[in-house]
Amino acid sequence: MGKRIRAQRKGSSPRYRVSSHRFPGKSRMPREKDIVGEVTELVHSPVHTAPLARVKLPDGDTTFVVATEGLAVGSNIAIGDNVSLRPGNITSLAQIPEGTAINNVELRPGDGGKVARTAGNSCLVEAKLGDKVRIRMPSGSVKELPSSCRATIGVLAGHGRDEMPLRTAGAAHYKAKARGKLFPHVSGVAMNPVDHPHGGGNHQAVHGPNSVARSTPPGAKVGLIAPRRTGRGRGKRV
């Protein structure tokens, strides 16, 4: 009799659980308008590639925002429609001139920022089309967003973070552990039949169908779980 497969062990062992107590908090743009906050601390978060800035608001509350290049402890962050074009200030897309680099962009007004939130990333304001603003995403694609969506002016901090290689297996282990992921990852076809449904055979391949139903028991629930369709998908679907 074989041991439990990885999919079963994940549900009961603390090894595969994210250490959420190590996270400083959510990083979302404040909803208040026409205020000026002060950066009191730059914080490292295990699950964010860019550093976070702890901002003290005028009412005494504190919040976290992703840190823009140029921010330092003691810097001021202006939030509202009438702000200067300084890195870190938060305003609506309608108030940002064309050609400006922005980060932490909202996809819908009030969602707190969804796009360009990883280290060194930024979007570019390309054109204003009535009540829409066209921005160029970090991937190079173009997207039109409502002009009332907010964004942070500048490029996100932490540029060059991914240029340093992972020199040891331990570094990769702790990088994965901070996000609750498993390292090293071993494919099922490389295992023995007692360890995984895809294991065994004279070569590494899934022998037989790899689609399973949603109600499949945990010991066999691997591969494509309840797929909408299978096959190579040649040609157009009608």
Q: Are residues 110 and 42 in the same domain?
A: yes
Last residue of a domain, one of 161, 192, 214: 161
pLDDT band at 77 (very low <50, low <70, confident <90, very high): very high
Q: Are residues 141 and 197 in the same domain?
A: no
How would you classify residue 158: left for phi > 0, otherwise alpha for psi between -120 and 50, otherwise beta? left
Once rounded to an integer, what is the mean pLDDT over residues 117-127?
Answer: 94
42, amino acid identity: L
Q: Higher pLDDT residue, 9 or 128?
A: 128
Q: Total domain count for the chain?
A: 2
**pLDDT beyond 90 at 164:** no
Q: Are residues 33 and 143 in the same domain?
A: yes
Q: Are residues 92 and 209 in the same domain?
A: no
Residue 3 lies in a domain: no
Residue 27 lies in a domain: yes
Q: Are residues 63 and 155 in the same domain?
A: yes
Q: Are residues 202 and 102 in the same domain?
A: no
Q: Are residues 52 and 127 in the same domain?
A: yes
Once rounded to an integer, what is the mean pLDDT over residues 122-148?
Answer: 94
User: How much is the pLDDT for 86?
Assistant: 93
Q: Are residues 70 and 138 in the same domain?
A: yes
At 219, which CATH number?
Answer: 4.10.950.10
- What residues does 37 pair with on adjacent strands? 77
pLDDT band at 160 (very low <50, low <70, confident <90, very high): confident
Average pLDDT, the chain: 89
Q: Are residues 30 and 94 in the same domain?
A: yes
**pLDDT beyond 80 at 149:** yes
At 165-191, the pLDDT tens digits run: 899 999 999 888 877 778 888 999 999
Cβ contacts of 182 within 8 Å, gap of 6 or more: 6, 10, 16, 176
Last residue of a domain, one of 115, 144, 161: 161
Query: How many other CB atoms sit within 10 Å of the CB of residue 236?
Result: 5
User: How much is the pLDDT for 222?
Assistant: 92
User: How much is the pLDDT for 237?
Assistant: 54
Domain that holds residue 211: 166-225
Once rounded to an integer, what is the mean pLDDT over residues 63-73?
Answer: 93
**pLDDT beyond 80 at 132:** yes
